[in-house]
Structure 1
Amino acid sequence: MDNTKIYKMAFASVYPHYINKAEKKGRTKEEVHTIIQWLTGYDEKALQEQLDNKNDFETFFGQAQLHPNASKITGVICGYRIEEIEEPLMKKIRYLDKLIDELAKGKKMEKILRT
C-alpha cells in the first residue's frame, strides 16, 4: 500500500476530526491534547507550533519523542492490527488513531495512557 499521501497530509487538517470525534462522545479537547502530548512528548506550545506550521504527519512524528509505552498500544484500528503494521510511521499514526478511538469509546484516561 502506498502511504505517501497519508504521510504528506497536514496533521492540522486531521486534528479537528480528532477533537470532533472526542467531543461528540462527551470527551474534551483537553483530553485529546493529553493523549497527543503523552504519545508525542510535545508540550502545549510545541503542539500548537505543529498545528500553526501545518506540518505533515511525517514531520509531526519525525520531530516527536514517542512515549516508551507506545508499544503497549495494541488492537485493531481501521481494519489493521496495530502490532502487525511494519511501516514505522504508519504504526505511529495508527497509535494516535487508536488512542483517540479509545477516548471516544469512554475508556478511562489511565487505561488509554497505558499507566
Structure 2
Amino acid sequence: MSHRIFTTSVASVYPHYVAKVEKKGRSKDELDEVIGWLTGYDEAALQQHLDAGTTFEDFFAGATLNPHASLITGSVCGVKVQDVEDPLMRRIRYLDKLVDELAKGRPMEKVLRA
C-alpha cells in the first residue's frame, strides 16, 4: 500500500519544517544539518532535491541513511517510530521526529545521537 506522503515532494513539506523550527528559535541551518545527518545529503544536494521537486520516495531512495538512525525512537503523531514496518515510512517518521526534537529545543548533539 502506497501512502500519499511517498509521492509528495520534499520541497512542499520543507517550508513547514523551517517554519516549525524557526518558530521555536532554531535555524534553517540547524534543520539542514539534521536532514544532512539523517540522509547524507550536503547543502547543495538537499537544495537540488528541493529545486527538482523530488518525492519523499526518491529522496530517501538516494539517501545514505545514517548508521545511527535506528537510535531514533519515540512517537510521532501517536505512532512509535521504531514500530513502523514500512522502511520508507519509518525513514519519513525519523525525519519528522528529528524536526520535532529540534523544534522542542533539544541540544543538537542529542538530536544527532552523538
The normalised TM-score by structure 2 is 0.98
- Give ranges in structure 1 of 5+ residues lacking alignment: none
Aligned residue pairs, count: 114
Residue aligning to 1:98: 97
Residue aligning to 1:67: 66
1:78 is displaced (CA, Å) by 1.1
AA matched with 1:56: T
AA matched with 1:5: R
1:4 is displaced (CA, Å) by 2.7
Residue aligning to 2:79: 80
Residue aligning to 2:52: 53
Between the aligned partners of 2:2 and 2:102, the Cα distance in structure 1 is 25
- Give ranges in structure 2 of 5+ residues lacking alignment: none
AA matched with 2:10: F
Between the aligned partners of 1:3 and 1:84, the Cα distance in structure 2 is 18
1:3 is displaced (CA, Å) by 4.0
State the 4+ residue runs in structure 1 displaced beyond 3 angstroms.
none
CA shift digits 1:14-56 (9 cap, x unpaired): 0000000000000000000000000000011100100010000
AA matched with 1:33: D
AA matched with 1:85: V
1:79 is displaced (CA, Å) by 1.1
1:44 aligns with 2:43: yes
SS of the equivalent of 1:17 reads: helix
Residue aligning to 1:6: 5
